């Protein structure tokens, strides 16, 4: 799944790729909301989501039974992932 989201094949997800994902999922989010999701999931602070950060977020969502679309559609949900 990560490879499908990583549009440029760089091994990380940046704000542009995250925006494309949200658009493809038909999630209406502002630039600020997308940047907030990125900041919340970016554990090492490099401005991108790498595979380990993505895996952590997805496993947390699965464990909590939270659908990915709900998480991406509600910035509060991504903040909850950071607290885990």
Q: Is the model's pLDDT at 84 over the cut of 50?
A: no
Q: Are 18 and 38 within 8 A, CB to CB?
A: yes
Grade residue 26 by pLDDT with cuts at 50, 70 and 90.
confident
Q: Are 39 and 81 within 8 A, CB to CB?
A: no
- The domains located in the chain, with CATH, are 2-83 (1.10.238.10)
Please give the model's pTM, rounded to 2 decimal places: 0.69
Residue with tokens 């493809």: 24
CA pair distance 59, 7, nearest whole angstrom:
22
- The per-residue pLDDT for range 39-71, each reduced to its tens digit, is 888 999 999 999 999 888 888 766 666 555 555
CA pair distance 61, 47, nearest whole angstrom:
21
């Amino acid at each position: 799944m990560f490879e499908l989201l990583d549009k440029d094949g760089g091994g990380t997800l940046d704000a542009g790729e995250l925006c494309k994902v949200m658009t493809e999922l038909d999630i209406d989010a502002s630039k600020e909301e997308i940047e907030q999701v990125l900041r919340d999931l970016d554990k090492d602070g490099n401005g991108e989501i790498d595979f380990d950060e993505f895996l952590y977020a997805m496993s947390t969502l699965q464990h909590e039974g939270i659908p990915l679309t709900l998480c991406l559609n509600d910035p509060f949900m991504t903040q909850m992932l950071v607290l885990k």
